[in-house]
Each structure stands twice: as structure tokens, then as C-alpha cells.
Amino acid sequence: MDNAIWNNRIRERTSDEGASGYLTIDLGAIRRNYERLSAAVSPAKAAAVVKADSYGLGATKIAATLLAAGCRHFFVAHFCEATEIRPHLSGEARIFVLNGLQPGNETPAAEAGIIPVLNSMEQLHLWSATARAFDRRLPAVLQFDTGMSRLGFPPEERAVLAEELRNNQDIEILFIMSHLASADDADSQQNGDQLSEMRRIAEEFPAFEVCFANSGGVFLGSEYHGVLARPGIALYGGAPNNGETNPMEPVVRLDVAVIQTRTVPAGARVGYGATYVTKTETRLATIAAGYADGLPRSLSDRGAVYFNGVRLPIVGRVSMDSITIDISTLPAGTLSLGSLVEVIGPNQTLEMLAADAGTISYEMLTSLGHRYRRQYR
């Protein structure tokens, strides 16, 4: 789409003009991505990972959108995230806390119907004590470590756990789960190793169903799905598998406004530390976003933005609130105060920007700041 048309559409959607940047979040695309993932894991169900404010895009709005799309299982990382989205979901929706509960959160979690993922014997004992205090069984999920060495019951505790569960009448185990460490690499041997370990665990705990696949795991095959998959990045348009065509629909577009343009002579130093020096007369533009807005310093002298399909390289260091770009390839006068350039969009995917920054799409999304005017489509 022509930048002038897009800029007009952006400004038509906002109540007032003058924002330094516009982050457009397509709720329809999120819904269609959820439907695509649900179809891919059927007859299993698809949950939604909405932790970190739905990867920085707004958990309350997105959770409500996914609820309307049929999602009934939502995963967050921390208890505080669960309490934020609980009022926006119907009572039939289940909210799971991946990190489990910190001591002291058990009672409010039980009162709110929030379900912990139990990662240790200590968390299990605290939740059991809470159930006894409420004089009713409380639901929970058990997480096992299948080779990531991060969270979950380790192999050496499984026999003790099995014995304890035989005598535990306080907790209703809804399912067991683990997390794939290398699912974004379909060729990784670790995927098969973790699947084999998960199968051993399922044999040791045959009374419980399995939740296993994350975004990448959805596309590894049905043996990874279990009864419930829990995609995250794929919901938000990120590529679930490296090196393969992204099957997901883009969700975000980021456009940032120009502050100033200028022409500088050969030998001009640009930005902090004079890391970039012009070789010829150069036309520059400074745009109104920087590392405080989630565009990391590592984009300095290597990333780019776009205007009408033309790549405009970042020159000099990314500052806290601004970035300088080389606009010499555009006709003089094309950009001026308030013009919008594309940072994420049809010409530059989230993965392309992340690659230039030397990071991953997850970090880029969750870092996008709140100084942009956020617009939900």
C-alpha cells in the first residue's frame, strides 16, 4: 500500500494526530491465527499464551478476542498477570500460571479460580494446604522437566511425586505438561529426546492427559500435541519455525514519524560517538523512536526502515528517543516533519527487524514501548 494512503488511514483511526509513532495491532489477524492453530492441532484443543501482556500487545483486549474465537485456556507467567485478565474473561475460561505461585498468593488464587502450574514439591505442598483450608479440592497442573533444566519436577523426584499423589485428596490434577526447548528448529534432536521423555512420564502418570506443544511444537506433528497445545508467538504473527515459510498472518505494523530532515556534506559525523561518517553529501532524516521504544541499540549502523518499499538504512547509533536514517535514495522533499516511515510492516517483517538487531521476534514484540499510539483493528 502506498505510504501516503496508509498514513491517512492511520490518522483517520486515531482521535487526534501528532503521535510520534503508531503501533497497529490487528485483532482479526490474531483471531484467524488462533483458528489456524486450532485446526492444526485438532482434535486436540489450542490454548493461548497471553503472558507478558500478550507479548507486549495488550492482554486484556487480546484475551477477550480469543475468548470470542472459542479459546477457553489461557496461560500467563505470573499471578499478577492472571488477576489482570480474569475480569475480562467469562467464568468458563481457565487461567493457568506457568511459574506457579509465590508463597502468599495461594489464597487469592483459589478465591479467583486461578490455576497454578506446580513445578516443585514445595509448590505442591503449599497448594495442598490451601485446599485443606478451603475444605475443597483445588485444580492444578503438574509440569515436568524433560530436558530444558528450567522449570518442572526433575526426573529424580518423579517416584516420590507419584507416591504422594496416590495419597493426596486435596488437588485435582487437570493434566501434566512440559516445555519444548528447540521446537523452533524442526531438525533439532532435542525435540525427539524431549518427546521420548514426555512419553515415559505419561506412562508413569497414566491417569493424566498431556499438554506439550508450544508454537513450534504445533507444526512438529500430532505426536507433540497431547490434548492441549499452548501456542504463543504464532498467535501474534511470529514465525513458529526457523528457516521455514511463516504460516501465520502478520499482526503488528509499526510506523514512526519523522522529526527533521537535513542535508549534510561529506565527512559529517552522525550520532553519538561519531560511529558513522558520511562519504558523500547525504540527506538524512531523524525519526521519533529509539531504544526507549523497543528499537534496540544493536540496530545501529545495520538496521533499516522503509518508505514506499524503499529501504532507508539506519546510520549512526540508535539513541534513546531517536534514530537517524539515510534518505538519499528518495526524491528530495519526499519526507518532512510528521511523515511516517515503516519499521514493521509489509516490507520488513518482525523477523527481519529482529535479525538486524541480533535478537528474536519474542524480544522485539515484548520490548515495543507505550509511547506509540496503539490502534486496534
Q: How far apart are CA 215 and CA 361, in angstroms?
A: 13
Q: 276 an active-site residue?
A: no
Mention every residue, 6+ apart, whose C-beta is less than 8 A from residue 7: 255, 339, 340
Residue 3 CB-density burial (10 A; 0-12 exposed, 13-18 middle, 19+ buried): buried
Q: 279 an active-site residue?
A: no
320 is in an annotated binding site: yes
Packing angle, helices 121-134 and 158-166, rounded to 10: 10
Instruction: Locate 136 and state its grid cell.
Output: 475443597
From 51, 55, 224, 306, active-site residue: 51
Q: How far apart are CA 33 and CA 305, in angstroms?
A: 26
Q: Write the single-letter amino acid at 307.
A: F
SS3 106: helix
Closest residue by Cα to residue 205 from 151, 168, 165: 165
Q: What is the dihedral of CA 328, 329, 331, 337, to 10 degrees?
A: -60
150 is in an annotated binding site: yes
Packing angle, helices 27-41 and 59-68, rounded to 10: 50
Closest residue by Cα to residue 141 from 123, 164, 167: 123
Phi/psi at 123 (5° precision): -65, -40
Q: How far apart are CA 363 and CA 159, in angstroms?
A: 37
Q: Are 158 and 145 in contact (CB under 8 A)?
A: no
Positive/negative CA dihedral, 362, 56, 38, 45: positive
Residues forming the active site: 51, 272
Q: Which residues are annotated as a binding site for substrate?
A: 150, 320
